[in-house]
Chain A
Amino acid sequence: MSDQPNTLQVAYVRRELLNEEPAPASSRGPVAWLRESLFSSIPYTILTLLCIYILYVIIPPVVDFMVTNAVWTGSDRAVCATEAQGGIQPNGWFGACWAYVDAYANQFIYGRYPDAEQWRVNIVALLFFGGLAPLLIPAAPFKRENMLFMVFVFPLVAVVLLTGGDIAVSHLYIPLAVLAVIALGVVYAFAKGSESDPLPGLKTTAAIFAGLFVMLFVLGFDFGLRHVETEVWGGLLVTLVIAVTGIAASLPLGIALALGRRSALPIVRFFSIVFIEFWRGVPLITVLFMSSVMLPLFLPEGVTFDKLLRALIGVALFSSAYMAEVVRGGLQALPKGQYEGAMALGLNWTQMMRMIILPQALKLVIPGIVNTFIGLFKDTTLVLIIGLFDFLGQIQSSFSDPAWSSPVQSLTGYFFAAIVYFIFCFGMSRYSMYMERRLDTGHKR
């Protein structure tokens, strides 16, 4: 089309574009925004006013309590009690006692872990977050090496540092050796029976047992560290130990259960379903009661478990059932073509799962795993009911200290706990949303 307009036949045609006019004053600027989003109709106006009233009722007292009236420094209860209660504050004063939180900060983080040994906890925390951060950032390099470090090296280092190592494991060498011989024999027999080369299987098995021997050796080696029993662990340390161990243990178990539930083998499927539905059907608190009261009865005479370990077992079994359902969601989300394609390539079941299905499925369920972790992190608070001192338990137990007892003490403690839990959980949920969006783009059809 020519851009020569036919000017002869039309009396008037505007040649130049008009400048953009600003929107009318009534529909721009803060006033318009207010009208649009807050006062657009009578019901909306009423709602808005109601909300403003709610904010007015909630915010000023909370700010007063948390900031304006709060006490930030001090050495005992006097600073946080009114004159009538034997303190220095004017009567009618009501504010948070952050001085108490400050005085107890160490216990809230480490529990009663000896002061002189707390550097060990710090190192473990540093290693953990240092190792985890690059794993969580999709762009960071060395994923594989990092993963290997987190899976194989870190747990061992953490156990040795936190407990002090030198664990009595010498009686385990012989059973493990026997087990190794049996395992090698089974692998060999299996390979012979199926007329394939036994060498690769034997190598893998030998490597695994060698790893176990190294593990035992490290656990049993005396590094000269002071032994710290789990009874004195507490605070954020216990919360993180339970949550992280729970999730780490539940991941492999959960994957196995999810595969089992989708397996074609009836007995495997049956046990998987029973296991999953059982743990999902009961409240965690009864699981914890069971592991703390009943588990000792199931063990042979003379074998006892650490209290923390018992809680860990309960938590791990419980969360593995939830993890299994998350993983199953990922497995179901994969198009059938992936399975068929893998089979068409002649892969056997193990190869198919290991190389085709699980990598894709697990990637899909990262947000689900993070959400399970958030749930688990919140649920760790329940261990205080069975007498472990997690973060909340430690805060609660500090309420019994007469040196700081005042009417605002428990409220301050609970507020502090709420803030800390919120920061952790909110941060993780943001991360999970970020991953969800990121993974989503790859799967848009």
Chain B
Amino acid sequence: MAVTDVTPNGAGGDDDQAPRVALLNNPEIRGWIFQIVLAILIVYLVYAGWSNMNANLQAAGIASGWAFLGNNAGFAISQSLIEYSQASSSYGRVYVIGLLNTLIIAFFGIIFATIIGFLMGVARLSKNWLVSRLATVYVEALRNIPLLLQIFIWYFGVLRLLPQPRQGFDFGFLGLLNNRGYFAPKPVWGDGAEFTLYAFIIACIAAWALGRWARARQMATGQTFPAFWTGFGMIVFLPLAVFVITGSPLSWDIPVMGGFRPSGGMTVIPEFIAMLVALAMYTAAFIAEIVRAGILAVSRGQTEAANALGLRSGPTLRLVVIPQALRIIIPPLTSQYLNLTKNSSLAVAIAYPELTSVFAGTALNQTGQAVEIISLTMLTYLTISLLTSLFMNWYNSRVALVER
């Protein structure tokens, strides 16, 4: 290295250094200069935005701060999972209700989207010509039409298809259905109902332990044990037995037709139904493609090899094909789940009271504190996304093929 630079007298400790390179030609230093300039620029932009905002807020005399979260909201919300009264509930509670409504539509949407998506994905691969064609039409049509438009179509479609309350469908014990929503009977738990819950929890833990034990035994001895069915039986029958023993502490609050709409029971508002159908159908079209790709990606050789090993078709599917397909399916599937959750914000267009609609909509209008409310809303969605990504990364690293 230092050969060219050796001084004639051979002395000097720092002679074996690299040839003198201009400071700016050192990639490391260049990198740092660039980074520092970038950091200064970004910090400046953020600072400028921040100080502008403060100046603007001050000049316009707009209130700021988080105190409004404790103020009384004073408007009604058509669906709330927790208690809400317009007389006394605060904006903070409105936020919680909006968040819960977002989560519940996402939860049910994900379940239905997954079911429909898997069915459609398998149907697209069906050898039945009509079935596969229909599934293709479904996927192509729903993927290529904007979700918002679909939401409008479903909402106004649902409203027009369902009859007025007075002419509504009456399913007796199963409740009422009309264009004010679906009115289902509501379970009312009596004394001692908590024992059933405890029994359920105990059964779940026992089933889990049983599964572990069965697997360990299979690993050690090769003997199999029908852990799934045993566990399933435990989870179903243990709580049922306790329920009967404690004297069936359950009654139903059955909705009855009132002056304008049924009262009592549980109400599923039409906005929820329309939103759920639209979200589930739309996302299912994407899931169908993911499932199809996942199944196609498992090569036939895997099935043939499993057959050659003497596995029957059930275990082949369960132990060979599905685990491999899932590895491909799950990452894009999670991002679809995330999309569904984010897309639930479109409910703002049809008055389903979720986070964006009720908090970033109504509450923002009433308080005028745009900065606080929009930031909090965005942060909430961001947190949901990041938590999901975190889980996904963990899962991915667990199932990823270890390559050598």
A418 near B: Cβ within 8 Å? yes
- Interface range on chain B (Cβ under 8 Å from partner): 35 or more
Residues of chain A from 41 to 65 with CB closer than 8 A to chain B in the complex: 44, 47-48, 51-52, 54-55
Chain B residues within 8 Å of A287, by CB? 378
Q: A286 near B386 (CB under 8 angstroms)?
A: no
B374 CB contact (under 8 Å) in A55, A277, A294 = A294
- Please list the residues of chain A having a beta carbon within 8 angstroms of any beta carbon in chain B: 33, 37-38, 40, 44, 47-48, 51-52, 54-55, 190, 193-196, 264-268, 271, 277-278, 280-287, 289-290, 293-294, 296-301, 349, 374, 378-379, 381-382, 384-385, 392, 396, 410-411, 414, 417-418, 421-422, 425-426, 429
A429 CB contact (under 8 Å) in B22, B35, B144, B382 = B144
B349 near A: Cβ within 8 Å? yes
Contact A297 to B140, CB < 8 A, known contacts A54-B134, A378-B146? no
B148 near A: Cβ within 8 Å? yes
Nearest chain A CB to B359's CB is how many angstroms away?
A: 10
Nearest chain B CB to A355's CB is how many angstroms away?
A: 18
Q: B134 near A425 (CB under 8 angstroms)?
A: no
B348 CB contact (under 8 Å) in A33, A195, A349, A385 = A385
Q: B130 near A381 (CB under 8 angstroms)?
A: no
Q: A392 near B56 (CB under 8 angstroms)?
A: no
Q: A293 near B370 (CB under 8 angstroms)?
A: yes
Q: B56 near A301 (CB under 8 angstroms)?
A: yes
Q: A381 near B146 (CB under 8 angstroms)?
A: yes
* Closest A residue to B127 using CB positions: A37
A182 to B146, CA, bound (A): 47
Chain A residues within 8 Å of B36, by CB? 267
B188 near A: Cβ within 8 Å? no
Chain A residues within 8 Å of B59, by CB? 301
Q: A422 near B130 (CB under 8 angstroms)?
A: no
Contact A294 to B134, CB < 8 A, known contacts A271-B38, A282-B381, A429-B144? no
Chain B residues within 8 Å of A278, by CB? 382
Q: B145 near A299 (CB under 8 angstroms)?
A: no
Contact A194 to B56, CB < 8 A, known contacts A265-B35, A414-B149, A426-B144? no
B82 near A: Cβ within 8 Å? no
- Please list the residues of chain B having a beta carbon within 8 angstroms of any beta carbon in chain A: 22-25, 27, 31-32, 34-36, 38-39, 42, 48-49, 52-53, 55-57, 59, 126-131, 134, 140-141, 143-149, 152-153, 156, 342-343, 345-346, 348-349, 356, 360, 364, 370-371, 374, 377-378, 381-382, 384-386, 389
Q: A190 near B152 (CB under 8 angstroms)?
A: no
Instruction: List 17 A-B pairs, Cβ < 8 Å.
Output: A40-B128, A44-B127, A54-B134, A194-B23, A264-B31, A267-B38, A267-B39, A280-B385, A282-B342, A283-B345, A287-B378, A297-B53, A301-B56, A379-B146, A421-B144, A426-B144, A429-B143
B130 CB contact (under 8 Å) in A52, A284, A378 = A52
Q: A51 near B134 (CB under 8 angstroms)?
A: yes
A194 CB contact (under 8 Å) in B24, B143, B153 = B24
Q: A421 near B52 (CB under 8 angstroms)?
A: no
Chain A residues within 8 Å of B156, by CB? 410-411, 414
Nearest chain A CB to B2's CB is how many angstroms away?
A: 20
Contact A417 to B57, CB < 8 A, known contacts A44-B128, A422-B144? no
A-B pairs, top 6 by smallest CB distance, nearest first, are A281-B385, A425-B144, A37-B129, A194-B24, A283-B342, A193-B24
Chain A residues within 8 Å of B49, by CB? 298
Contact A290 to B374, CB < 8 A, known contacts A37-B127, A425-B144, A429-B144? yes
* Closest A residue to B346 using CB positions: A285
* Closest A residue to B45 using CB positions: A298
Most chain B beta-carbon contacts within 10 A, residue among A193, A284, A289:
A289
Q: B356 near A285 (CB under 8 angstroms)?
A: yes
Chain B residues within 8 Å of A33, by CB? 129
A51 to B370, CA, bound (A): 50
Q: A190 near B144 (CB under 8 angstroms)?
A: no
A227 to B24, CA, bound (A): 49
A413 to B378, CA, bound (A): 33
Q: B149 near A289 (CB under 8 angstroms)?
A: no
Q: A297 near B346 (CB under 8 angstroms)?
A: no
Chain A residues within 8 Å of B348, by CB? 285, 385
Q: B377 near A286 (CB under 8 angstroms)?
A: yes
Nearest chain A CB to B146's CB is how many angstroms away?
A: 4
Nearest chain A CB to B116's CB is how many angstroms away?
A: 14
Chain A residues within 8 Å of B153, by CB? 414, 418
Nearest chain A CB to B358's CB is how many angstroms away?
A: 13
A171 to B374, CA, bound (A): 34
* Closest B residue to A418 using CB positions: B145
Nearest chain B CB to A39's CB is how many angstroms away?
A: 9
Chain B residues within 8 Å of A54, by CB? 134
Q: B22 near A300 (CB under 8 angstroms)?
A: no
A378 to B346, CA, bound (A): 13
Q: A293 near B374 (CB under 8 angstroms)?
A: yes
